[in-house]
Structure 1
Amino acid sequence: MTADLTIRTHPAGELPDGRAIDRWVFGASDGVTAEVLSLGARLQSLHAPDRDGHRANVVLGGGSPAELIGEAAYLGSTVGRYGNRIAGGELPLDGTVHRLATQESGHTLHGGPDGFATRLWAGTPLEEGDRVGVRLELHSPDGDQGFPGALDVTVSYLLDRAGELTISYRAETDAPTVVNLTNHAYVNLGGEGSGPVLDHLLQVEADEYLPVDHDLIPLGAPEPVKETPFDLTTAAGLGGRLSAPHPQVRLAGDGFDHTWVLRPGAGLRPAATLHHPGSGRRLDCLTTEPGVQVYTGNHFDGTLTGPGGRPYGRYAGIALETQHFPDSPHFPEYPSTVLRPGERYESTTVYRFSVE
């Protein structure tokens, strides 16, 4: 084990049915440390130093186990089998329309009401070279939430001494299905529960985004970000963009809940940069995915309290969800999310922390 990197395993409480939740804490005590739970393969906390070396948890997290399967279910969790939305809960695949489980909206969100975020994953401490972390595994049977094909999924979190967290996803199936996995961490570089992220600066490596309808389902073809609040080709303050009188910003609840179409490229490449001038903390997000869903926590209303004891008000955190596009099964022109037997789904996202 690298001298200044450690990983420890702890209990993290029980679900209402008595099943135990496991917790892994890993990283460097004077740098970035991560806490991952078996429930939802969840990034529960991530402590990072500011420009003065003061460490704070910069991701939002739920409190009790009951919250983690309720209103806080998506905070930091691995969502699937299909992150984001599938319209009407209808999955067309190879000439058959599969009926998926839906939420109150009538659409399938993040894999359905009992998606991967609510499952207990099996975890194993992991060491790879100069990185430590945890590997989590889940079996999703054929017909799970209506999705065809049994799916075996692995998610690995690995953290190095420099403060780079790598999240790697792998999946294989025994029948044709769709897969779109992502992490749903909400970030606040000023510190969890410190207030809204309106003072953060965001840059996204994208010249186009996907406009949506009133149910946040894509309308179709991407549109240019130029001369709109969605133009984040250079860093811009979130406060000014979320107060812009643009119909798409208003439609999402005075905020962002949209997919940016990343510039084409092979392999791991820059997706977004988030900076908090007050603390100096900077987060660079890199991914192999074609898009990033930016969600600015428009729904938080103070009823959910984080582990620090402070309520989460509106814009308490921002999610940078690297992924394929929402509702891709209904848009053949979008990058395909179909996975077939003999193929392997692979996706990697990196969160690189630094200070300015």
Structure 2
Amino acid sequence: MNVIYQFTFILVIFCLTSFTTKDEETKLVAKKIVTHSKYQEVTIKKSTFGITPEGEKIDSYKLKNQNGMEVDIITYGGIITDLKVPNKKGISENVVIGFKTLEEYLQPNPYVGAIIGRYANRIANGKFSLDGKEYQLTLNRPPHSLHGGEKGFNRVVWKAVEVKSGKKASLRLSYLSKDLEEGYPGNLQVCVTYTLTNENQLEVLYEATTDKETIVNLTQHSYFNLSGDFSNTILEHEVVLQSDKIVSINENGIPTGEFEWVANTPFDFRTAKKIGKEIGVKNEQLERGNGYDHCWVLNNSERGKTIVAKAYDKVSGRLLEVTTDEPGIQLYTGNFLKGNLPMRTSGFYEHRTGFCFETQHFPDSPNQSNFPTTVLIPGKKYKTKTTFTFSVN
């Protein structure tokens, strides 16, 4: 009887031990799955950035992936305040111009990091006609209107919604631009969605609808410096633009209505060339833009799927590639940075310490019959996407 009892006792202990071991193994496997899932997840973290003089709370959202890429966006102006990406040594550094405080963003600045609208770029004399009616816009760059007027989308507070989906995380910003705001007709409901992926891509999706015929042209106005060191200029950056022509401008930066071939000019970036190589040569278009501040007419090869622009910094190894379904891209080389905007730490952003890749329709399109239309009518949706992809080389 004792033998049977001992055997039974041993059998029970064995079974309990086996059950516990399997349970622990199950827990370990589950833990690995959860850990792996967390490792793959792109996260969003919300914090308070400041309070406007009108008492509106401005939030900041940090989107972060598994590869050391982070992007910080505030609800004031939809501004990208920070964008950190790794260099060839794996060190993540900020690569966009930005300020430390909301108060600094509230001061006059050249659209640093902001969403631009209703109309990116210039409209001649701030006037255009729709359906036989002429509209007068705010002349914030007399005698012309620039980037949406005195209080464009870069100066409004956007509503934010977080959208999480594992390997992607999005921040969906929305704003209602009311009829005749800055002179533009129609109540325009705008949505801009920033999405960060684990492939080190920052996608920017623009959407809009209207209740009255209007014009729309949205873009993003971040100033990049891929070196991660803003005491350096961007003149050593190598740029490629898939474009055979530029939109020619007059002495006021307004399109002449003509396209100029880039071949045998300083505007030829069809193969990699340093920004600084020809920026100072004698050229009428360069003089009118005080450097590069022009819209390149993008070639039509599978627009939206092929890379239309690249920028590369040899020292850091960082490579930026841009895809877009827009017909143009404005390369702006920080020609009007004057050393009066404060850096995050110490010092100031000097001349040409940042460049912009502004994907968009052409400037002054409402007044240029041979340019692609920017008209939006009720019942139709404005929708366009630009993707910024970062890697090292």
Report the number of matched residues.
Answer: 355
The one of 339, 351, 354 equivalent to 2:388 is 351
SS of 1:239's equivalent in the other structure is coil
Distance 2:228 2:65 in 1: 18
CA distance in 2, matches of 1:309, 1:319: 23
Q: Does 1:260 align with 2:283?
A: no
Gap regions ≥5 residues in structure 1:
none
Single out whichever of 45-54 and 184-193 deviates more from structure 2: 184-193
TM-score computed with the length of structure 2 as normaliser:
0.88
Is 1:179 the equivalent of 2:216? yes
Describe how 1:219-298 pairs up with structure 2 within 5 A: 219-253=256-290, 255-264=291-300, 265-298=302-335
SS in 2 for 1:166: strand
Q: Which amino acid aligns with 2:146?
A: L
Q: Report the more deviating stretch, 342-351 or 93-102.
A: 93-102
- Give the superposed CA RMSD: 1.4
TM-score (norm 1): 0.97
Amino acid at match of 1:184: H
Which of 43-52 and 65-74 deviates more? 65-74
Structure 2: gaps spanning 5 or more residues: 1-33
Match of 1:164 among 171, 193, 201: 201
Range moving further from structure 2, 236-245 or 127-136: 127-136
Taking only the aligned residue pairs, the percentage that are identical comes to: 36
Rounded Cα–Cα distance in structure 1 between residues aligned with 2:347 and 2:321: 26
Please state if 1:108 is matched with 2:145. yes
Provide the residue aligned with 2:253 in structure 1.
Answer: 216
In structure 2, the residue matched to 1:65 is 102
CA distance in 2, matches of 1:200, 1:267: 24
Greater fraction of residues in helix: 2
The range that moved more, 256-265 or 97-106, is: 97-106
Q: Which secondary structure state, in structure 1, belongs to the residue aligned with residue 192 of structure 2?
A: strand
- Structure 1, residues 133-158: CA drift from partner, whole Å, max 9, x if none? 21000000001100000000000011
Match of 1:87 among 115, 124, 127: 124
**For residues 224-268 of structure 1, what are the alpha-carbon distances to aligned partners after superposition, in whole Å with 9 as ceiling and x for unaligned?**
000000000001011112122211112211x10000000014444
Which of 338, 343, 349 is 2:375 aligned to? Answer: 338
Alpha-carbon contact 1:31-1:161 (below 8 Å) kept: no
| Amino acid aligned to 1:144 | E
Q: Distance in 2 between matches of 1:315 and 1:225?
A: 22
Quick check: 1:3 aligned with 2:38? yes
- What residue in structure 1 maps to residue 243 of structure 2? 206
User: Retained in 2: the 8 A contact 1:180–1:337?
Assistant: yes
Return the index of the structure with the highest Cα Rg: 2
CA distance in 2, matches of 1:292, 1:97: 28
| Counterpart amino acid of residue 229 in structure 1 | P
Measured against aligned partners, the alpha-carbon deviations of 1:57-113 in whole angstroms (never above 9, x if no partner) come to 001113332331332361110000000010101021111110111114221101001
